[in-house]
A = this chain, B = another copy of it.
């Protein structure tokens, strides 16, 4: 065990330092701000005092004075899986490079983030990014009127900017690959388009491909995005009289579970049925057959979001930005010559 909260130099303020150095607080402030006008001699005195007293300026006092929090907010769903980690990493790194700290808020799956917490978060930052579908539109618009706000991978909302990775086109490409190259004729989409704008767009792309190939569009299997949802979907699929010959899943977690459950039930993947995912998480490379999926530049997206926020905060007019390009990654689960070895990122 160790020292409890401490009597230490806790109450050290700019006044203490000024006293100790025999100067005014203005001078201390100047020195700490790196102003060039102060003489070398004074500077040294001040720095010595700062060091001796172990002084750190109060962040809130500073924020209050400069009218800036020098912080960015980020609202994410409970993050498991690499998607959110990556997004967060990209965001944090970019923010740090800009000298901004990031305050993070995680929403409970399902419930979303309540307006109060959201507002409190917004109050402590200069701008914030919110993953699509977590905060309701009304709260979003209200906040957007107060400070820079960006919705990531979300639905279009009047009055609020957004940024995301491309979905529709690559989903069409992926599905067409299944229909064309692998001659699939009865594909099904696993995922609930209403659960998230991403999923909706992926479904849209799926539908577009089917229509282009004159294939009847089946109702999507509306399940969530977790492993357990994939298992449930697989059971449903297995119970059907007419089984699909291709399962296009909304993300890798569900796809992996489906793949696994199907193989388990004795089906030949990709012989009888193709399975695809979305995200290209680590496990996608390790399973056999390797999971065909779509890779998104998630980290870059996170970084871009932070930089864009900063631009808006500093008043720079941000250049219009298209959705970030994604890439279909072909492995064995769709029917491609599943290289036994996996494709490295």
Contacts and interface: CB of A to CB of B under 8 A. Distances in A.
Interface string A1-14: 11111101110000
A159 B80 contact: no
Most buried by B among A59, A69, A105, A315: A59
A2 B104 contact: no
Interface string A258-285: 0010001000000000000000001100
Interface string A54-85: 10111111011000010100000011111011
B123 A59 contact: yes
Interface residues on A, range: 35 or more
A89 B106 contact: yes
A1 B80 contact: no
A9 B92 CA distance: 29
A289 interface: no
A144 B2 contact: yes
A249 interface: no
B4 A317 contact: yes
A313 interface: yes
A158 to B, nearest CB: 7
A26 interface: no
Contact of A145 (B54, B86, B102): B54
A106 B80 contact: no
A102 B102 CA distance: 9
Interface in A216-258: 227, 256
A61 B64 contact: yes
Interface stretch (A114-122, A171-179, A196-204, A329-337): A114-122
Q: Interface on chain A toward B: helix, strand, loop, or mixed SS?
A: mixed
Interface string A294-309: 0000000000000000
A293 to B, nearest CB: 14
A47 interface: no
Contact of A144 (B1, B6, B88, B283): B6
Contacts of A96: 105-106, 117
A181 interface: no
Contacts of A144: 2-3, 6
A103 interface: yes
B84 A101 contact: no
A46 B89 CA distance: 42
Given A92-B104, A102-B103, A146 B283 contact: no
7 contacts: A3-B160, A6-B146, A10-B146, A59-B124, A60-B64, A92-B106, A101-B121
Closest 8 CB pairs of A and B: A60-B63, A59-B124, A8-B145, A60-B60, A283-B283, A60-B64, A59-B123, A92-B106
